[in-house]
Structure 1
Amino acid sequence: MALKATIYKATVNVADMDRNVFLDSNLTLARHPSETETRLMLRLLAWLCHADERLQFTRGLCADDEPEIWRLNDHHGIETWIDFGLPDERRVKKACSRSSCVYLYAYNARAAQIWWQQQREKLAQQANLTVRFLSDEQLNALTDFAARNMSLQATLQEGTIWLSDTQNHLELRFDDWLIDGKLA
């Protein structure tokens, strides 16, 4: 018998000062049996960074032809493609050809550093690609927020994310490795 996904619920309040986006939303996240809680929280953090009423989680790990998160336009074209981990260059190129904006969130410092050294020149050819990295320390602190039912407040300004719930407060900052095809 196959294992089923574990469901997480998150009530989020986002104040993105840079984009002038203020949003309250109720999210449902399905954690695949092979996914860690740490990766789930990175997906949630990425959603908070791009918060929008049209932004939605996809089938993710279960679908090779979809990102983990996307925003579709009125004609079901992909406006924003958000993926995680250390994908193959072909997957990134395919994403860049299908979407006007592609964000890749890398994590796991040891593997990510090696992957980035091997891929950076090739990926820098994609003008619509942004690659962001979150350190292991910050990712571990983010995981402390994980619960089956979460209520989170996120404030974003000038690249800094302040995240809080009733017990935890955290300041996060991504390392931008590539911004719209330009090495940072």
Structure 2
Amino acid sequence: MALKATIYKATVNVADMDRNVYLDASLTLARHPSETEERLMLRLLAWLVNADERLTFTRGLSAEDEPEIWLMNDHNGIEVWVELGLPDERRIKKACNRSARVFLYTYTGRAAQIWWQQNQNKLTQQDNLTIRFLDDEQLKALTQLASRSMTLQATMQDGAIWLSDDRHHLELHFTDWLINGRLT
């Protein structure tokens, strides 16, 4: 018997001062049996920092030809492709060829650093690719917000992400490794 996904519900209020995006959304996240709670919360954070009414979660781990999150245009073209983790460089190249903008959110400290050293030269050739890293300490703090039913407020300004629920208040900062194909 196959294990089923665990469903998480998130009601979010987003105020992105940098992009002038303000919205409320009710999100449903399916946590694959092999997905950690840390990865699930990073996926939610990636949605929040790229928030748009048309941004949707895909089948994720269950689909090789889809990202974790995407934004499709009216002609079924991919505007935004969001990946998590440490994917193969060929997968990132494919995403960059299929989408106007690609965002990769990396985590797991030491492994991510090694992955970046090995792939940096190849990935800087992609001018529509942004790679952001969230360190282990911040990811652990983010995971404290996880529950099957969440109500979160997210404010983004000048690279800072303030995220809160009724018990926790976090300030998170990604380390940008690559922005639109340029090293930072």
TM-score w.r.t. length of structure 1: 1.00
Q: In the alignment, what sits opposite 1:64?
A: 64
* Count of matched residue positions in the alignment of Structure 1 and Structure 2: 184
Output the CA distance in 2 between the equivalents of 1:128 and 1:92: 11
Q: In the alignment, what sits opposite 2:2?
A: 2
Q: In the alignment, what sits opposite 1:92?
A: 92
Q: Determine helix, strand or coil for the equivalent of 1:75.
A: coil
Which runs of at least 4 in structure 1 moved beyond 4 Å after TM superposition?
none
What is the CA-CA distance between 1:150 and the residue it aligns to? 0.1
Output the CA distance in 2 between the equivalents of 1:154 and 1:131: 21
Q: In the alignment, what sits opposite 2:78?
A: 78
Q: In the alignment, what sits opposite 1:129?
A: 129
What is the CA-CA distance between 1:167 and the residue it aligns to? 0.2
Output the CA distance in 1 between the equivalents of 2:76 and 2:60: 17
Q: In the alignment, what sits opposite 1:44?
A: 44
What is the CA-CA distance between 1:17 and the residue it aligns to? 0.3
Output the CA distance in 1 between the equivalents of 2:52 and 2:89: 28
Deviations 1:6-33 (A, max 9, x none): 0000000000001111100000000000
Deviations 1:81-119 (A, max 9, x none): 000000001000000000000000000001000000000
Q: Determine helix, strand or coil for the equivalent of 1:166.
A: coil
What is the CA-CA distance between 1:171 and the residue it aligns to? 0.1
What is the CA-CA distance between 1:160 and the residue it aligns to? 0.3
Q: In the alignment, what sits opposite 1:15?
A: 15
Q: In the alignment, residue 136 of structure 2 is paired with which amino acid?
A: D
Q: Determine helix, strand or coil for the equivalent of 1:115.
A: helix
What is the CA-CA distance between 1:49 and the residue it aligns to? 0.1
Which residues of structure 1 form unaligned runs of 5+?
none
Output the CA distance in 2 between the equivalents of 1:118 and 1:5: 33
Output the CA distance in 1 between the equivalents of 2:168 and 2:22: 21
Q: Determine helix, strand or coil for the equivalent of 1:94.
A: helix
What is the CA-CA distance between 1:130 and the residue it aligns to? 0.3
Q: In the alignment, what sits opposite 1:142?
A: 142
Q: In the alignment, residue 117 of structure 2 is paired with which amino acid?
A: Q
What is the CA-CA distance between 1:67 and the residue it aligns to? 0.3
Which residues of structure 2 form unaligned runs of 5+?
none
Percent identity at matched positions?
74
Q: Determine helix, strand or coil for the equivalent of 1:103.
A: strand
Q: Determine helix, strand or coil for the equivalent of 1:118.
A: helix
Output the CA distance in 2 between the equivalents of 1:111 and 1:168: 28
Q: In the alignment, what sits opposite 1:169?
A: 169
Q: Determine helix, strand or coil for the equivalent of 2:118.
A: helix
Q: Determine helix, strand or coil for the equivalent of 1:64.
A: coil
Output the CA distance in 2 between the equivalents of 1:100 and 1:28: 25
Q: Determine helix, strand or coil for the equivalent of 1:12.
A: strand
Q: Once superposed, what is the RMSD of the aligned Cα atoms?
A: 0.3
What is the CA-CA distance between 1:177 and the residue it aligns to? 0.1
